[in-house]
Amino acid sequence: MSVYIDEALLDAAGLMDFPELYAYIKERDPKHPIEIAPPVPVGDQTLQEQVKINADILENTNEEFVPPEPNMPVKIDYGQQIVNQPFIFNEMQPTLIVYGDRVTLNCFLTIKQQFKGYVFNSYPQEAQPKHIIKIITVIFNNFSNNINLFCYIDKNGPYVYAENELEIAANTSIVISTTYYKQFEALKQINYDSNTDGKVDIMDVWNGSGQGTHEAQSHVYGVVKKQSDLVDHDIEGTVLHNFLNNDIKLIDKLGIYKADRAAYYIQDGPIVTFSFGAKLGDNNGNVYKIFSTIDSKILPPYAKYHAMHPEQKEFKGYCQQIQQLDKSTSFQVIISGKLDKNDCEFSSTYVIDNYQNLNDANESIDNQPESNIDEVIIKCDRKLETHSIYQYTITNETGQLNIVQGFNLGSPHNSFYIVDDGACRVCVFNLLLETKGFYEQYQPESPIPDALVPLNNNQLAFPATVMITVGDSYQTDTFVGYFIVNGSTKQYSFSVDRTVVISPQSSNVLYYCVSRLYYVD
């Protein structure tokens, strides 16, 4: 009886790192060399042929090629059109702003009876994801560590439920705040039960790949396809590249992203947005890794911090991103204790601090061609990029804040960026603060500078991670917290579920972490 040994399986299991064992397996199971795959088609042409066609049109004609100008998107707030389920009440007026493919939802709700399901009676078509997907949204509630809530968004809007698909308790208040995109490059890893064995694991990835249902096109394919669409004046919309497909790898080679949920890490100009669920990897105490590598292009030069959701309900956590030589430490997760269950959810937004507009960007070493075809593709891409309709202006307004006594900057890289694309302005903020605690549950943090007042003086709420160290152990105390942006009173503040005061002599510190996006114009 012969046994088929898949080299991809050996590599995923780490056995390719042991030459003697690999040679033994190959001796037992000799295989013919795998044939080289045929050229990847783009439409009716191969990739190489299509690159040549694009170059002939863009570089070798007497007339200058001018790609069509896409229309500037219109910003529309559908918040007034949202109708809640009859037993769900607004603590603040919801906002649902659609700007092209970008959708930003913010609502603070109280559910008056036991419930799981869609919180709205209907969801505007203009805000619906364009494919049958469920987008993870990290939400927080008003019961500290008593319940574990989950939320995803699909064509029917936000769907909320408690752990193990249970109903949410009556009189629970929740904050749902997220920015997502209606279309983006789909995750190419299979994360559903493709082999119908009743579970979702790495075998589904291999099963899907073997049946040819797993897309294998590279980022280069996407670039050439985009160029071809522009040359042919076929620009129905830009499908943003998903860095989870080619440029970011989970540290667990056998790991997959959360079953039946969308997973993406995308860049839209200077704004980067991610949403995914996965298991954490190696840890040093309460600091965990999740990726073995991550593309430098989407790593900020200054540290960014984001609230996240450990699925082990008694814990809270936040993640930290920064450029590092060791890419496995560029995205770290700090948990309020040592996990027994490593499943976590992530959803947030940040700005690349040193982003350069495409028209102004200098050629970098990373963009130098590695082959003749690379050189042609890069030349074509630059010629098309010079016609970008977006010219971003990025201003950090953090220096305009007047932080109240009691809060200290937990990071020198806190930021309140105004990102202006020429048509609208958004605030993308990122905070890590520390205190010795407060005697009040409502804690003013700073007056809102005029430049940062939200659109229409809206009141907004954002989920925040609030946790305190206890002694020298990794176990920490955690709190339920919201970050409140009150456009009417022009006040930033935190609201926590209970008060706490730490002795000045103690080395313990209370940390507040929050990041999100809202519109100012």
CA distances 503 to 18, 175, 408, 506, 513, Å, are 54, 31, 16, 5, 21
Instruction: Using alpha carbons, select from 160, 327, 307 the residue that is nearest to residue 243.
Output: 327
Neighbour tally for 412: CB within 10 Å = 8
Closest CA to 318 of 310, 328, 308: 308
pLDDT in tens, 393-405: 999 999 999 999 8
Provide the pLDDT for residue 470: 72
Per the listing, tokens 């490593």 go with 342
Q: What confidence score (pLDDT) does residue 291 get?
A: 95
- pLDDT of res. 235: 47
Q: What is the rounded CA–CA span in Å between residue 384 and residue 48?
A: 19
Q: How far apart are CA 421 and CA 399, in angstroms?
A: 22
CA-CA distances (angstroms) from residue 62 to 56, 57, 352, 377? 10, 9, 38, 20
- pLDDT of 50 reads 67
In angstroms, the CA 484 to CA 443 distance is 10
So what's the pLDDT on residue 214?
A: 35
Total length of the chain: 521
* pLDDT of 377: 66
* Per-residue model confidence (pLDDT) at position 143: 62
Per the CB < 8 A criterion, the answer to whether 187 and 245 are in contact is: yes
For residue 348, the model assigns a pLDDT of 97
Distance CA 456, CA 420 (A): 17
The dihedral through the CA atoms of 387, 391, 392, 395 has a sign that is positive
**Single-letter code of the amino acid located at 440:** E
Low-confidence ranges of the chain (pLDDT < 50): 1-4, 34-37, 44, 206-217, 234-236, 362-365, 386
What distance in Å separates the CA atoms of residue 195 and residue 193, rounded to the nearest whole number?
6
Rg (CA), the chain: 24
What is the model's pLDDT at position 205?
53
Instruction: Give all domains of the chain, ordered by start, each with its CATH number.
Output: 1-36 (no CATH), 75-181 (2.60.40.2460), 393-519 (2.60.40.2460)
Apex 125 CA angle, 119 and 127, nearest 5:
70
The whole-number pLDDT of residue 120 equals 97
Residue that has been written with the tokens 């009040």 in this structure: 440
